[in-house]
Structures are given as C-alpha cells and as structure tokens.
Amino acid sequence: MKIALVDSGIGLLAAAAAVRRLRPDADLVLSCDPAGMPWGPRTAQDVSDRALRCALDAAERGPDALIVACNTASVHALDAVRAALEPALPVVGTVPAVKPAAAGGGAIAIWATPATTGSAYQRALIADHGGAAQVTEVPCPGLADAVQAGDEAAVDSAVRAAAALTPTGVRAVVLGCTHYELVDDRIAAAVPGAELFGSADAVAAQALRRITAAGRPVPPGGGGLEVLLDGVAAELPAVAAGYRQGAALTVTPATA
C-alpha cells in the first residue's frame, strides 16, 4: 500500500504520522512546494495550480490514495486535483474538525491562519456544523510560519498571542491549520482544560476507507518514505525531525 500526501510544507506530517500509526506497512510519498510556501497569502488560482502540480508529481509514484493535507489547498484545489486524478486515484481533502468539536455544545474556538479566519469558507463550516456551540474565530498570525521554520521562540510567542484572544473556559479548540497539530502540546498548555480537535486521524482513516472501497488488490508496503520537494526527490527536511510526527516517520516498522 502506498499513500501520497500534498502540502506546501511540513503541515502534512501530522496526517502522514496518522497513516503510519494505522498502517505501519504503508509506503508514504510526501510532495511539498517549498518554492511556493506559504500558500495562505496566494491567490486561489495560484494555490490550485501549485497543489495540483504537487499532486501530479506524487501520482507518478503510483499511490493507492492521495491526501491533500492542507486546509488552504483543500478549499482552493481539491476540485481540480479530483478532476485530474479521480476515479483512478482516490483523493481525500482536509476539513477543520468543526463538527466533532461543536457536537458537545458550549464554547469552542477555531484557531486558523489570518487568511482563513473570517473567510466565507470557515463561516460556512460554522453555519453548517457549529450547531448550538458558541464559536470564536481566533487568528494566529505567524504560527504556521514559525512551525515551518522550527522556531520555538516564535511558536511560543504566536501561541501566547492566540491564547490571549481565546475566551477563558472554552471547552474545545479546533486546529484549523495542519501545521498547528505539530505543536498541539504547546497549544494545550496555553489553553488549559480545552480539548483539541485536529484533522489528521480522520483524514488518514478516510484515505484507508477509500482504498478499501475502490475494491482493487493492494499489496502491502514496506513502510518506506519518499519525499518530493518541488517535484524532485529529496530527504525529509531537517526541521521535521524536531516534531514527534516527523521523527515517527523515520522509524521503520522493523525497529518501531
């Protein structure tokens, strides 16, 4: 089994690690766009073009499913990627976990990039899935960039700023950017008592379901890892090893 993941940078590590937990034998292809990151400030068409290019690069490696492991790309590029690759290759997008977070009602917060916060897309998610929950949208300027750079001081500063905008006593925090899941421990410490809701586990499970539903024979993999940076085979960026999700990908099933 081989699963490909697409993102501008290391935000895809959370979903990749979730796949590895569920299927240690799965071969992974990580296709990133370091020349174009971050995608958030770019136009919708530019994001779509770049994400599609990453997806096509990954598709050449023969995966059994492809995950668009980025909220921004899922908004702007998912339709284009699916049009290019499905039905031959199942494509799974990433959606902030508003629905499960809001299911318990009460006060919740959505931490997201400034470009996503207040967007029509996020407001639609809240309207469709927020239910009776009291939802606060919290912009997190600089947090994704700090995570991407592995800048711990900048991460802590951005987390503190976002926590200051988060109402005291919120029951849950939705991590509306895949990069944020890499520092979920720091976010949890900054918002004590709140349950964190990321997307990685659900996305990984959905990819595996799509593979099963396709009904095609899928041989087991060997737990391998292939990295594509701007379409070129490369090593996993050194910054990835600083996060537990990235470190987990470098451990082979035989030694796990």
* H or E segment and range at residue 138: strand 134-139
Catalytic residue among 32, 54, 140, 177: 177
Residue 105 has pLDDT above 90, yes or no: yes
How much is the pLDDT for 88? 95
Distance (Å, whole) CA 207 – CA 53:
20
Among candidate residues 17, 51, 25, the one with its CA nearest the CA of residue 36: 51
Q: Which residue did the predictor score with more confidence, 108 or 217?
A: 108
Q: Where exactly are the structural domains of the chain?
A: 2-94+200-249, 98-197
Question: Is CATH 3.40.50.1860 the right assignment for the domain spanning 2-94+200-249?
Answer: yes
Distance CA 103, CA 123 (A): 17
75-92 pLDDT, tens digit each: 889 999 999 999 999 999
Whether residue 217 is predicted with pLDDT greater than 70 in this model: the reply is yes
* Domain 98-197: assigned CATH number: 3.40.50.1860
Catalytic residue, chosen from 32, 54, 70, 140, is 70
Give the mean pLDDT of the chain: 93
Report residue 220's pLDDT band, with 50, 70 and 90 as the boundaries: confident
On the question of pLDDT at 252 being above 70, the answer is no
Instruction: Estimate to the nearest angstrom the gap between the alpha carbon of 34 and the chain centroid.
Output: 16
pTM: 0.92
SS3 94: coil
3 state SS of 251: coil
Question: What residues contact 160, with CB distance under 8 A and at least 6 apart?
Answer: 190
Q: Which of 93, 113, 80, 112 is nearest to 12 (CA)?
A: 93
pLDDT (tens digit per residue) in 183-199:
999 999 999 999 999 99
The reply to whether 70 belongs to the active site is: yes
User: One fold for both 2-94+200-249 and 98-197?
Assistant: yes
- 177 a catalytic residue: yes
